[in-house]
Amino acid sequence: MAERQRRGGGSEAAAGREASAGRTGARLGVALLGSTGSIGRSVVDVLARFPDRFRTVVLAAGRRVDVLAEQARRLRPAVVAAEVPLAGSDLPPGTRSVRADRQGLAELVLRPDVDLVVVGTAGLVSLRATIAALEAGKIVATSNKETLVAAGHLVMPLARKAAAEAAARSTGDPFASPLAWLRPIDSEHSAIWQCLAGEDRRGIRRLVLTASGGPFLDVPLAALATARPEAALRHPTWRMGPKITIDSATLVNKGLEVIEAHWLYDVDYDAIAVVIHPQSIVHSVVEFVDGSLKAQLGRPDMRHPIQYALSYPERWPAPGPSLDLAALARLDFRAPEPERFPALATAYEAGRLGPRATAALIAADEVAVERFLAGELELPGIARLLATAVERFGEGPVPADVEAVEALAAEVQAAFGGGGAPRGVVGQGAER
């Protein structure tokens, strides 16, 4: 702890924040954790499109070393980190290969030439790195759900502190918002962030998160019990990895996003709603006290929210064609049926109980999805397992640090037949 305080303390962090803000016009130095997952590969595309804005310093992945080597040849980072070292002959001149575990990642992001840490990993593997980066005054852009669902109480105070320091320096500073320091990559949270630009948060009446509803939106309720993993993996609008796709089919993903929204925007659970929107064009909505609604629309392409998280407070040219509203013709909305998506209510319940319950929820979900994909659990069993986890582990001491979050996750996962250790390998990209 002493070392963490030293790193985060005083002028060093403040100097880091100045550099991070990129106000000098210099290119931002980027560490990308989880570069070979679905989010990571899209981040690589964005970094490659703006070579005058970014220097890639670190690329970290798990076991997909062939993809990592190809990315290194494209972006020429100073360091690549993986679970197994890469052959020097696969790497461009000047790129060094290291092995890195979760503590190693936390050390890599503290390099002085790293200004911006992009987290695309699943699970808890990058939580130490995220906290270390925020403490050192670096920007974090993340698609990782555990960061806020399991550790919002540890992470948000760091983002708020950085924002308060920016606010003290100058009025109207775009870095005076916690969102400037902990930047969401998820499309829904990016939408709310964009809708809130220039708004006083006291004007918020409620946040409305949109959900596609997944592949089982219209199947008879009785058919859910026999839903096969192959069918659940067929997401109607987004192309994503298996974990997030199953979480979309059960609406667990939306429940986790409700919890994230509570932390990111400091809004009560009563003021966060979910609406089904099968086209995935309206990415989320903010309703204000005067009855006005602001929505953010765009193609379901993760490169858009990723680019916004990297370009903030600026906007840069889009990677694809414009959204053609006339061609869309219509946008549909409906309320989620509680009987079809029982896990949504469980997520709200966990959120209201607090960080211990939400940490247990997301740890249990990792096991539940694995067991569903392995054919050991039927689809409705996922929601039942989550409800049991919240009931069994939801009350008790709030995990006071990263180690306690990891220990609770391991305990929950062991209780439900998981491996007993918090999973989430660097290369298994979080895919939102």
Q: Rounded to the nearest whole angstrom, what is the least distance from the CB of residue 188 to Mg ion in the complex?
A: 5
The smaller minimum CB distance to Mg ion, of residues 251 and 377, is found at 251
Q: Rounded to the nearest whole angstrom, what is the least distance from the CB of residue 187 to Mg ion in the complex?
A: 5
CA dist 174 and 138 (Å) reads 15
Alpha carbons within 13 angstroms on the beta-carbon side of residue 346 total 28
Q: Rounded to the nearest whole angstrom, what is the least distance from the CB of residue 251 to Mg ion in the complex?
A: 11
The smaller minimum CB distance to Mg ion, of residues 183 and 432, is found at 432
The smaller minimum CB distance to Mg ion, of residues 116 and 256, is found at 256
Exposure class string for 98-120: b at 16+ Cβ within 10 A, else e? eebebeebbebbbbeebbbbbbb
* Distance (Å) of CA 386 to CA 337, 365, 377, 406: 18, 6, 12, 18
Beta bridge partners of 430: none
Q: Rounded to the nearest whole angstrom, what is the least distance from the CB of residue 432 to Mg ion in the complex?
A: 5
Placement of tokens 């005054």 in the chain: 137
What lies within 8 Å, CB to CB, of 316 at 6+ separation is 50, 53, 307
71's tokens: 């990315």
Q: Rounded to the nearest whole angstrom, what is the least distance from the CB of residue 32 to Mg ion in the complex?
A: 20
The smaller minimum CB distance to Mg ion, of residues 165 and 186, is found at 186
The smaller minimum CB distance to Mg ion, of residues 102 and 432, is found at 432
CA dihedral 294, 176, 45, 297 (to 10 degrees): 0
The DSSP code for 424 is -
Beta bridge partners of 208: 273, 285
CA dist 124 and 127 (Å) reads 5
The smaller minimum CB distance to Mg ion, of residues 58 and 281, is found at 281
Evaluate the omega torsion of the peptide bond into residue 313 and state whether it is cis, within 30 degrees of 0: yes
Q: Which positions touch Mg ion (CB under 5 A)?
A: 186, 188, 432
The smaller minimum CB distance to Mg ion, of residues 82 and 119, is found at 119
| CB-closest chain residue to Mg ion | 186
Q: Rounded to the nearest whole angstrom, what is the least distance from the CB of residue 38 to Mg ion in the complex?
A: 12
Q: Rounded to the nearest whole angstrom, what is the least distance from the CB of residue 34 to Mg ion in the complex?
A: 16
